[in-house]
Every structure is written in structure tokens, then in C-alpha cells.
Chain A
Amino acid sequence: MSSPSLQIADLSFGSEKSPILDQINLSLDAGHFMGIIGPNGAGKSTLLSAIAGLIQPSHGEVKLFGKQLNQFSRHKLLKQVGFLNQLHEHDPHLPLRVRDVVAMGSSDYAAPLWRRGNIRDAIMAALEQVEMANLAERDFRHLSGGQRQRVRLARALVRRPKLLLLDEPSAALDSKRQDKLYGLLRTLCSEQGMTIIMVEHDIAAITAYVDSVACLNRRIHHHAMQGEKIPDDIWHAMYGDHIHIVAHDAGCIGCAQPVEGEQ
């Protein structure tokens, strides 16, 4: 039996008195699509950074594909990981064609110049997935925010990762594009066995696509599977007592089931 794509054991980050992440335990098999929700400052991006090897946890360990992530294994293991970090408002200053941006995501992009492989087909395939192939020759600086975000996603996909980490990938996308994006991610999990962890704020938008939702606020308060209700006290523990919970969709992870006969 193959190892889980991701195993996190007893992971903490930050000072002992006020940790940013506190005793996180998680195991995801290949093909699992998990959403992470939580309030601002809950440690969602920090958790993705720890999985991507960008920060060193103060306690605990991260295993990717059965192997511990450390400074010796990170180069090899991270070749199988795609990463899309949070979109910051920045003005890209490098003059680059869209296809060159996507090429940067290939696993051997940083190899010496004489070891250039032919990755044009892979680049175009990744651009097709995000419906940007027709703009492959365009200057990346001249694209809109939403188009740039789709190109960044293609860059994460071009290496055909086994594990894909996405931090608010729908930022700058309209609702139609958001649905298309989640649909694509669902297909990648179901058909290619890709494991995806996605940080999002809108649980209602992702609920039809993901297999589970982790409720994070420094620690994982609850990990709800598809069709499971998230108890009210979990919502209050994460967002505070002032929130009012309204159920609006029977199939929604975390929503209360409607009373029979009431629609």
C-alpha cells in the first residue's frame, strides 16, 4: 500500500506561549481535495508554508509521500509539489511572455543552460487547462489581475505535481472563473490522483468540490468530511460568539441539514 501524500505529526510553529500553529495532525491520501478555512491570522498560509518547506516548524514533522521533509530531502521532494502563494498586489517588472512564466514552474527550470529539455508541450497543456493558451506569447505585465492569477496557476500545474498547495487561488477571479477553477481542481484529484490543499475563505463556494474541510485557527478545530455537519461550537471557537450561523444548502459541508419538508 502506498504512503499518504502528506502526513503532519504534532506540528507547531511560533513561540510556546502564543503559537501560530499548535499541534497540527493531518494525513491525506493521494487524490484527496481538502479545503482549509479560518479567520484572518489563523495560520492558514503558515501551514501551507510549513508543508512547502518555506519555514521550519518549531516542533513536529512533515512527511511528503512517506519521506520526512528536511534540508537534505527538500530539493527532491519539492519537485513533486506545486505551490501557488497568496496573490500580493505587485507590479511584475520582468519583461516576460506568458509561456516563459509558466516554464518557471517546470521541475528542472533552474538547471544549467545546456540541460534545457523540451517542455513546450507541457507548457501549452498547462495553459490549456486554465484557458490561457491563446495568450501564450503575450507580455505577462500587460495581463489583468485575473489572467495573471490563471497563468500563476498554470505555472504550478506545469510540473504535474503529486501535491498541489494553493493559497486563495480564486483571488482576482470572477465567480464564473472560480467555479471553473474548482471544477478543474476536482478533476485533477479524481482523474490524476493529485492531492490538493486549498486555503479559501468562502466555504459555500468550495463545498461542492472538496472532499473535506479543515477548520483552522492556530489548531485544527475540526476536519469535516463531505456531507458532515460542522458543529456550531466549532464555528464560534474559530470566528467568535458574535457570528450567526445560517444554513442554506443541504449538501454544503458545515451547513446544518434542513428540517424535513422545509425547502
Chain B
Amino acid sequence: MEMLTQFFTSQVMQESLAPAILISVVTASMSVMVLAHRLSFLTVGVSHASLAGLGLAVTLSLPLLPTATVTALLITLLLANIPKKQGITDDAGIGMLFAGSMALGVILISTASRYEVDLFGLLFGNILTISSGEMQWLSLVGALILGSMVMLARGWWSIAFDPTTAAASGLPVSTMRMVLYGVTGLTVIMCVKLAGIVLTTGLLVLPAACAWFWGRSLAGLWSLSVIFSLIGTLVGLVISYHKDWPSGATVVMALCCIFILSWGGAWLKQRVQKHKEQG
């Protein structure tokens, strides 16, 4: 109890709570689509590739988040247009862009001498150092992502289930996929502030993975995913404050624990059901 009181009265934590909750809700919403469309590796690729954007921002003294956002968007759109018919598959394309962009980012950051680079913050996230400008940017991008979900969630869901039938019912499947890739890229950038480049995939996969055991519809999965993500974020931040651990890593660790609990709970439920059926 004392731990919670200290957490909520801390000035730094009070300031970081709103952006953390915003990131948590937005990424949990998109995580349903990431799992449904099997885009986990895409999020790994884009998050690492965003280092090129951060490198460019550092070298050219541009604002970090907007530059990273534009770079991530360009990278995801490039990935969406990979020449699959010539045999270059999604995972090969992501692998290439991942390595190439990361290499560019490392070179750019290593040559930036005029700028103080918080490399640890970039790699593993630091929600405690968010500026008001960054908060405005996150709110804008967050609203755009949630707006896209409200507009397109059911179409994306239907494409994930059966793309051929979705196309035959008149949906512009290729365009909608392209938009999904773009919005996923934007979401990755939102995560970078909280979890950093290395841990971003955790925020974009774990909430829906926890919900996958329990949800039986798009609405059910979406709400459960948001609930799990909020619990993981709050528990992670409280522990990180109390133990003085890195916030992003602690949030991802908390979500991992929730996943294991959720998995265990689902397994237990299945066993009880089987037992009842046999009895």
C-alpha cells in the first residue's frame, strides 16, 4: 500500500502515467491485429529499422519522434510492396530491411558527436523522460491509430480470417493491408518511447497473446487485450519505481508474467472442463 502511495505521489511517475496509459491502450488495440495477421516479425523488423530514423534525427538535429515516425512509415510501406511474386517473401524482406536500417542507424549515431545520445533510452525505452512536445506527438499518433482501428478493425479482422472471401465481398484487400502495415509502423514508434527498440515487440504481441486464451470475438479480444496491457503497464511501472528498475523492461516483464498466468489459467480451465465431461 505504501509502495502505491509513494508511486502516485511521485512527480515523475505522475507525469509518466498518462503517456504510459495512452501507449498501453493503443498498442494493446493494435496487438490484436498484429497477432491476427501474424505481423510479430514485422514489428521486430520495423522497431529495429527505426534506429535509422533515430540516427538521421541525431545527425541532422531533427526532432526524434517525428523523424522516427516518418522513417518507420516509409519502411513499413516498403515492406508492404516487397516483390513477393519474384520470390522475396515477407520474412526475407523484413530481414534485409532490419539489418540494413540498423546498420545505417548505428553508423549515423556513432558519427554524431555534437549530440548527447541516450542510447540506453533508445534501445530499452524511458517513459520517465518524456517532454510535453513528445506527449503531443504521441497523442496525435495515438488518436490516428485508434481512429484507424475504429474505422477498419472489422475489415482487417475479416481479411485475417479469409482474405479471398473478403476480396470477393468487395473489400479492397491490398489497400487495406497496406494501411494496416502503415498503422503498425506508427504503433511501433509509439512503443519505442516506453519499451525501446529492443523490447517494442513485447508490447505489440503480449497483450493480445494473453487475451487469445479467453476471447472468442473481435470485441472480446480487443477489450481483454487492453485490460491485460493496462494491468501489465501499471504493475510494471510501480515495480520499476519501487525497485529502481528500467521502466520499459519491467513493463514487458510484467506482461510476460501475465501471459504465463493466462496460459496456466487456460490450461487449468481445460483440465476442469475435461474432468467434468468425464465425470
Residue numbers of A with Cβ under 8 A of B are 52-54, 74-79, 81, 83-85, 92, 94-97, 100-101, 104-105, 107, 109-114, 139, 155-156, 159, 165
CB distance from B73 to the nearest CB of A (A): 23
| Interface size range of chain B in the complex | 20 to 34
Contact A94 B150 (CB under 8 A): no
B166 proximity list for chain A (CB < 8 A)? 104, 110
Among B152, B154, B160, B167, the residue within 8 A (CB) of A94 is B160
Contact A79 B164, CB 8 Å, known A97-B216, A112-B151, A113-B150? no
Q: List 20 A-B contacts (CB under 8 A).
A: A52-B167, A54-B168, A76-B170, A78-B169, A81-B168, A83-B165, A83-B168, A85-B162, A94-B157, A100-B218, A105-B165, A105-B169, A109-B154, A110-B155, A110-B169, A112-B150, A112-B151, A139-B216, A156-B165, A165-B168
Contact A114 B150 (CB under 8 A): yes
Tell me the chain B residues, 165-204 only, with Cβ under 8 Å from chain A.
Answer: 165-172
Q: Is B259 part of the contact surface with A, judged by Cβ < 8 Å?
A: no
Q: Is B161 part of the contact surface with A, judged by Cβ < 8 Å?
A: yes
A76 proximity list for chain B (CB < 8 A)? 170
Q: Is B241 part of the contact surface with A, judged by Cβ < 8 Å?
A: no
Q: Is B98 part of the contact surface with A, judged by Cβ < 8 Å?
A: no
The CA-CA distance from A147 to B218 in the complex, in Å, is: 22
Tell me the chain B residues, 61-120 only, with Cβ under 8 Å from chain A.
Answer: none
The CA-CA distance from A104 to B156 in the complex, in Å, is: 11
Hey, what's the 0/1 contact readout for B201-238 against A, CB within 8 Å counting as 1? 00000000000100111100100000000000000000
Contact A113 B169, CB 8 Å, known A92-B161, A95-B215? no
Contact B155 A53 (CB under 8 A): no
The CA-CA distance from A74 to B170 in the complex, in Å, is: 6
B154 proximity list for chain A (CB < 8 A)? 109-111, 113
A113 proximity list for chain B (CB < 8 A)? 150-151, 153-154
The CA-CA distance from A92 to B162 in the complex, in Å, is: 9
The CA-CA distance from A80 to B40 in the complex, in Å, is: 36
Contact A85 B165 (CB under 8 A): yes
Contact B217 A155 (CB under 8 A): no
The CA-CA distance from A67 to B142 in the complex, in Å, is: 42
The CA-CA distance from A114 to B154 in the complex, in Å, is: 11
Kindly name the residue among B152, B155, B169 whose own CB sees the greatest number of chain A CB atoms within 10 A. B169
Contact A110 B158, CB 8 Å, known A54-B167, A95-B221, A155-B165? yes
Closest to A159 in B: B169
Q: Is B36 part of the contact surface with A, judged by Cβ < 8 Å?
A: yes
CB distance from A255 to the nearest CB of B (A): 33
Closest to A98 in B: B216
CB distance from A248 to the nearest CB of B (A): 36
Contact A107 B169 (CB under 8 A): yes
Contact A54 B164, CB 8 Å, known A94-B36, A95-B221? yes
B36 proximity list for chain A (CB < 8 A)? 94
Taking A110-B154, A110-B166 as known contacts, 18 extra A-B pairs with beta carbons closer than 8 A to each other, sorted by chain A number, are A52-B167, A54-B164, A77-B170, A78-B168, A78-B169, A78-B170, A81-B169, A83-B165, A94-B36, A95-B221, A97-B216, A100-B216, A100-B217, A104-B158, A107-B169, A112-B151, A113-B150, A113-B154
The CA-CA distance from A96 to B152 in the complex, in Å, is: 18
The CA-CA distance from A112 to B151 in the complex, in Å, is: 4
